[in-house]
Amino acid sequence: MKLILNSFYFLFIVTLLFSCAAPKEKQTQSTAETEKPKIVNIINFIRLLEPRSEEITEDVLFQTVVQQVEMMKKYHLGGTFLLQYDALMDSRYQELLKSLPDSSFEIGGWFEIPQPLVENAGMKWRGRYPWDWHADVGFATGYTPEEREKLVDVYMKDFKTIFGYYPKSMGCWFIDAHSLEYMYEKYGIVASCNCKDQVGTDGYTMWGGYWNQAYYPSRKNAYMPAQNSENQIHVPIFRMLGSDPIYQYDDGLGNERQGVVSLEPVYEKGGGDSTWVNWYFRYFVEGESLEYAYVQVGQENSFTWERMEKGFEIQLPLIAQLRDENKVKVETLAESGEWFKKNYQTTPATSVSVLEDLPWKNKKTLWFNSRFYRSNLLWQNSELFFRDIQLFDENMESLYLNKNGTSNQCLYFALPFVDGYFWSNAEQRAGLRFKALIDREEILLKGDQISTSEPEKGTLQVDWNLNDQLGTFSIKMNENNLEIQLDSKKEVNWFLDLNAVKNADLPFVEITPQKITAEFKGMRYAVAALKGEISIPQNGNVFRMTPKENTVVLNFSER
């Protein structure tokens, strides 16, 4: 939104911003200390054809994009359109997208692999249809590193021939590290995007990564955040689709694959429901985000305008209103990528905080991310527990770094320390739970009041008031450590227990009083107790953390 400022006020604002800026040698944070932008990318990606349905013709897909453009123009909202190669080569899309003003619209690439791209790169097509969504055919991971470079070269050459420049943004459900770094080094892309965390959807499992927001990936694994700038690809990857922060995580638990609860406008219990959308954007604007908040709005044309129109009619007017109220920034993906690179040398710590549920439900959640780990706290039935803690290691190679995948599925994981999905079933939920020994009986601690704050830059503090005047837990999560402290006037014999279902495939190989060592997918990693003590309890749970001086401190940055 354009603001009219008189010269005096403009100079005042500029002076204020510079006075708040961090010293350059410490600048891995936002340029302005007080600025926490709420960034919205409207990203629609385009396929030429949809072989899964005879009713979804090429014309239906084209008209879907026409309607997306018209509605975005109606609300004066810019955004990003990402073209799959077959759509890139179609004159209708070329004419439509060339007509959009580049001051508010961006045209980039969607790197799913259709038949024309493969054949134009001099290779034989192996797919069942001209576009095949199986991972070993329709994604770069199904090709050798040398073949991926040929595919990238053909895409970039033809894109530049048509539009006169190379795309700044390249997205896909997943792009491997080799392809992404090649796009960066040779063609100078500034941003990428990939799928939200999910299990089994369309055969693609991406689990345990940097939750929502954006991160710099490891040069060995595009799903894994890097810990050091020299080992990262200097292209931020933004997580797509706007996952429901409470319910997406374990939706469909006990089934072969997850359900979908996201901002995508076609989903009736997500982005197609006005109550859900308004709730989502309320926490998006008001929740504690540490550095910034991010969400991707939009839909691939494969779902057709008939299915997505209602969701767009709900979302776009609301986004336009929030923009006009200066509560969100609507940007192209490339603009967000350039902003990220300008402000962060390495992946920053961010959070997503939701302290009020939908009207008919009663849960709360808090997500924390850093370049070393992610964690998730869930509150339900007056109980607060860690539903998820995953560690990141830039040395964990992707399965597809040096060779092509041969399965119709694709798998990306982080390093689990607490996994409330894979270590659970429909009857029993795994988690790291707050307990106490009272009158010789182990009980779950409970409390109804939760608040959040940022006591220092990059630290999320969660304060949880216990019932029965037992005190207040302060849970601090920063880039490296998790600190849990109980402030109580009473003597409370509290501890943390990890429970999991009996048949869970746990990674733990050694548990000592000061360290837990684990191994997952060939990677060895450890969590050290800087304060407190670890043991194996007699009650059948996996491990117990007992405080020292009412405090437990865990380190997640040393491997």
State which fold the 41-240+331-352 domain adopts. TIM Barrel (3.20.20)
Tens-place pLDDT, residues 49-96: 999 999 999 999 999 999 999 999 999 999 999 999 999 999 999 999
Which of helix, strand or coil describes residue 434? strand
pTM of the model: 0.91
Q: Is there a contact between 366 and 284 (Cβ–Cβ < 8 Å)? A: no
CA 358 to chain centre: 21
List per-block mean pLDDT (blocks of 10 residues) for the chain, which spans 559 residues. 36 37 37 71 97 95 98 97 98 97 96 98 97 95 97 98 98 97 98 95 92 97 97 98 95 82 94 97 95 97 96 98 97 98 97 95 97 98 97 96 93 97 93 94 95 96 95 97 95 96 95 97 96 94 96 94
From the list 406, 98, 214, 61, the residue with the least C-alpha distance to 222 is 214
Residue 330 and residue 440: Cα distance in Å, rounded?
56
Residue 29 and residue 138: Cα distance in Å, rounded?
37
- Distant-in-sequence, close-in-space partners of 183: CB < 8 Å, separation ≥ 6: 152, 156, 170, 175, 189, 192, 235
Q: Is there a contact between 208 and 414 (Cβ–Cβ < 8 Å)? A: yes
- Distant-in-sequence, close-in-space partners of 358: CB < 8 Å, separation ≥ 6: 275, 276, 279
Structural tokens at position 379: 């509150």
Tens-place pLDDT, residues 473-483: 999 999 999 99
Rounded to the nearest 10 degrees, how much is the dihedral formed by the CA atoms of 209, 210, 216, 218? -20
Give the model's pLDDT for residue 340: 98
Q: Is there a contact between 547 and 488 (Cβ–Cβ < 8 Å)? A: no
- Element housing 526 (H / E): strand 523-531
Q: Please give the single-letter amino acid code of residue 423.
A: W
Tens-place pLDDT, residues 364-411: 999 999 999 999 999 999 999 999 999 999 999 999 999 999 999 999
Burial of 452 (0-12, 13-18, 19+ CB in 10 A): middle
Residue 164 gets the label, from left (phi > 0), alpha (psi -120 to 50) or beta, of left
H helix runs in 194-235, sequence order: none
CA 319 to chain centre: 20
Residue 527 and residue 207: Cα distance in Å, rounded?
20
Q: What's 275-337 look like in SS3?
A: HHHHHHHHHHHHCCCCCCEEEEECCCHHHCHHHHHHHHHHHHHHHHHHHHCCCCEEECHHHHH
What is the total residue count of the chain? 559
Structural tokens at position 40: 């919205």
Q: Where are the domains of the chain?
A: 41-240+331-352
Do the strands 441-444 and 431-438 form a parallel or antiparallel pair, or are they unpaired? antiparallel
Residue 472 and residue 489: Cα distance in Å, rounded?
10
